[in-house]
Structure 1
């Protein structure tokens, strides 16, 4: 008999191409300040790259965790007892639920660069949110962790 559910944690990191884009943003800043001289150009390169890299890092630092009877997705903390049916979504279904099938009241932890997703109904009668849409690279594993956490609760 399992006493507690295994923890689940996933960080939705930004794709590698975004780091190249950060470098290109720095090069663009360097070209903008080039008429001011070599030192401002080097400062523009360093500052522009650092600012773009910080933005990419912040956007890609969001985590999804299942710990202590809670689903923690970004800033949301949802008790697993308030979760209902779960639907694993492939890339095409996830795109549909992000666009024309989406309910404006739902909670979305959306990262467009992550193709898969998990849609989890929220059954709490006090909460007007009908479901949570979670972009995840491992939707089956997240659903399994949520089911195990519900069973352990």
Structure 2
């Protein structure tokens, strides 16, 4: 796995696995709960606590959202990257097939990048003989598009 920057490379596909609506509601709920903790001390303290906690949770959610990026030479999923020459066939999974791919049919040696709020998955075969990882399995809102790019 090479350490290559996407600066100067043509990005073919890029997707941030951003939090879903439920996670944003949790961030808002954290702020509201913090307000109720601080409000008995003083209403302004509750307001400040609520805003700070909601903002911190939102920042953490965005900062920890992995990115899937495909360039002509590299595939990146989160912090992992591999040269495209070592990428085999890619396959998209939806619904029950996605659940099975991430559960009972999962190879424990696979690299995984899941987000609970994104059900569809894409599986990318790794054909590097020096890499013991058989495939990468990642959540994606557009797994078929990723599969088409990598297979095309």
Q: Normalising TM by the smaller chain, what interval? A: 0.7 to 0.9
Structure 2 distance, partners of 1:24, 1:110, is 23
In structure 2, the gaps of 5 or more residues are 1-9
* Partner SS for 2:59: helix
Given that 1:6 and 1:145 are in contact with CA atoms closer than 8 Å, whether structure 2 keeps it comes out as no
TM-score, normalised relative to structure 1 = 0.85
1:56 aligns with 2:61: yes
In structure 1, the gaps of 5 or more residues are 149-153
* Partner SS for 1:10: strand
How far is the alpha carbon of 1:16 from its aligned partner? 2.4
Q: Per residue, is there more helix in 1 or in 2?
A: 1
1:113 maps to which residue?
117
Give the RMSD, CA atoms, in angstroms: 1.7
1:9 aligns with 2:10: no
Given that 1:10 and 1:65 are in contact with CA atoms closer than 8 Å, whether structure 2 keeps it comes out as yes
* Partner SS for 2:15: strand
How far is the alpha carbon of 1:35 from its aligned partner? 2.1
Structure 1 distance, partners of 2:11, 2:144, is 14
1:45 aligns with 2:50: yes
Structure 2 distance, partners of 1:69, 1:11, is 19
> Which segments of structure 1 move beyond 3 Å, counting only runs of 4 or more?
none
